[in-house]
Amino acid sequence: MAYSSSGKTHAEESDNLDSVVIYLKKILQHWKIVVISAVVLAVLGFAVAKLTYTPSYSSKITFIANNKSSALAVSGQTQSDLNASATLAESFKYVFTTTELSKRVADNSGFKDISVSDIKSWVSVEAVEDTAIINLTVTTPNADVSYGIANAYVNNYESAINAAFPSTTLTVIDPPLLASAPNRDASARNYTIVGFAAGLVISIFAIVLAVIAKDTVKTADDVKDKLGVDVIGMVAHVNRKKKKKGEDYKPLLISDRRSGFPFIETFKIIRTKIEHTAQREKYKTFVVTSTAENEGKTTSAVNIALALAQNGKSVLLVDGDLRKPAVAKLLGINASEDGGVYGVINGEKTLAEAIKYSEKYNLFLLVSGKPVFDPSELLSTDAMSDIIKSAEKEFDYIIIDTAPCGVVADASILSSYADGILLVVRNDMVASRRIKRAVENLENSGTKLVGCIYNDTESGMPKRFMSSYNKKYGYGYGYGYGYGSNQK
């Protein structure tokens, strides 16, 4: 087992990276929610700041500290004297907020009902770094009160300073002034910034939490760990341009180079695994299904059949999804008048008459363009079993596309006639518990579940073959018809 310098296996590091990619993808996918949340909370923060804003007014006094022992003027002080004065300045700032001086200032401010705690909360003292200068600022909701308290400090500070530091002097070099305008309001900007940041954090956290809480299959390891099924192929998401109005639908087929090298090679890998299983187990007939609609079962079934045919095998592709037949449409074949399986079972045509050969794809097709409602009883007849048995005598492989096994019972019925089952699981779409129930139902048919085709993944071939996944511009190899509610 290979380990990295961090002590983790390369597989663990890859899984961690996959998780990070999933989170980033979801955040980018929901970027509008993130931006809107940030803007809304920023506006809310701005509004709160404005609604709760109370104008404040400040009056400031500037002092300078000197050693009494030095008879020199400030301009003639030595560096040692300046350093000593700077050190004292740090000590002086605590004297201004002592209870004794605060009470004296409150009593001499000229205003009633001002307490010591008010003085302490309104006054701020700052020693200017590396100087002997101290700034005392009084800030209150009233300009006259701020000015009155500042003057009270000017008139009462000396006795407190002399008592605490008898060898020093503190001189006022800039007396207080009556504020003519309120202080600049920084709360609106600060609240706006905080609101914007909070919106980003909360929305991103909510998205990540939703991803964690959503119990879907998000990595290939999830298929094994949550479902207990082996992955035989990982089909990477293919980013495709939005279809223009009136433009024909272009399906993803390995016979079309525009589908991309990774997509084509992935189905060749799946073909190889199917051939090995068929050779080892003597299998011929494979059912391709999924738990829900739009997971890509039909595209997978068609491309598996194409891949086998390209390898020189005779392949019969059966559209067993009688409720919503889609194989003919995917291949661009007109089957509007064909009855497919339904026509053979009802005796409208023999199997040989119903099977079509497509020279373009080198495929034999048993398809229909007519939907059949409630076909479960039809598929349960001996006639359906006879169709499969007869086909197995003539073809190397029979690939059957079925209805979603988590929606109707058709897939389980057809599975009982097959040798193996291939389950298509689309990335981050259906709840794991729902897929697990579907797997159990398929296994009850008595047919072996060969493996899972993990579709629309961001870790296909190559490992980082990625693009943004959204329904407007991307396709997950599924179709938009409905069998019912797709509850996750």
Q: Which whole-number Å values give the CA distances from 321 to 244, 326, 327, 344, 410, in the listed order?
A: 29, 8, 9, 15, 8
Peptide bond into 462 cis (omega under 30): yes
Q: What is the distance between the alpha carbons of residues 378 and 390, in angstroms, rounded to a whole number?
A: 17
The top-level CATH class assigned to 217-475 is: alpha beta
Kindly give the confidence (pLDDT) of every residue in the chain, 488 residues in length, as a single tens digit, with 9 standing for 90 and above.
Answer: 444 444 444 444 555 666 777 778 888 888 999 999 999 999 999 999 888 888 899 999 999 888 765 544 444 555 555 555 556 666 777 888 889 999 999 999 889 889 999 999 999 988 888 788 889 999 999 999 999 999 999 999 998 988 888 888 889 999 999 999 998 888 888 999 999 999 999 999 998 888 888 888 888 888 988 899 999 999 988 877 665 665 566 789 999 998 889 999 999 999 999 999 999 999 999 999 999 999 999 999 999 999 999 999 999 999 999 999 999 999 998 887 777 898 999 888 999 999 999 999 999 999 987 888 778 888 999 999 999 999 999 999 999 999 999 989 999 999 999 999 999 999 989 999 999 999 999 988 899 999 999 999 875 444 443 333 333 334 344 433 344 433 33
Q: Are 330 and 299 in contact (CB under 8 A)?
A: yes
Same fold, 57-174 and 217-475: no
Break the chain into its structural domains and give their ranges.
Answer: 10-53+186-211, 57-174, 217-475
Sign for the pseudo-dihedral over CA of 388, 389, 394, 399: positive
The two structure tokens encoding residue 298? 């039909």
How many CB atoms within 10 Å of residue 361? 20
Helix axes 143-164, 79-95, angle to 10 degrees: 120
Percent of the chain as helix, strand, coil, to the nearest 5:
45, 15, 35
Provide CB contacts within 8 A for 216, sequence distance 6+. Answer: 222, 427, 428, 429, 430, 431, 432, 488
Of 405, 458, 411, the closest CA to residue 436 belongs to 405
To the question of pTM greater than 0.75 for the whole model, the response is no
pLDDT of residue 73: 44
Q: What is the distance between the alpha carbons of residues 63 and 174, in angstroms, rounded to a whole number?
A: 7
DSSP string of 195-257, one letter each residue: HHHHHHHHHHHHHHHHHHHS-B--SHHHIIIII---EEEEEE-EE-PPPPTTPPP----TTSG
The two structure tokens encoding residue 367? 């398809």
Q: Are 453 and 217 in contact (CB under 8 A)?
A: no
Helix axes 31-52, 10-29, angle to 10 degrees: 60
Length reported for the chain: 488
Given 3.30.70, 1.20.50, 1.10.10, 1.25.10, which CATH number is that of 57-174? 3.30.70
Secondary structure of residue 49 in the 3-state scheme: helix
Helix axes 187-213, 31-52, angle to 10 degrees: 150
Q: Are 302 and 327 in contact (CB under 8 A)?
A: yes
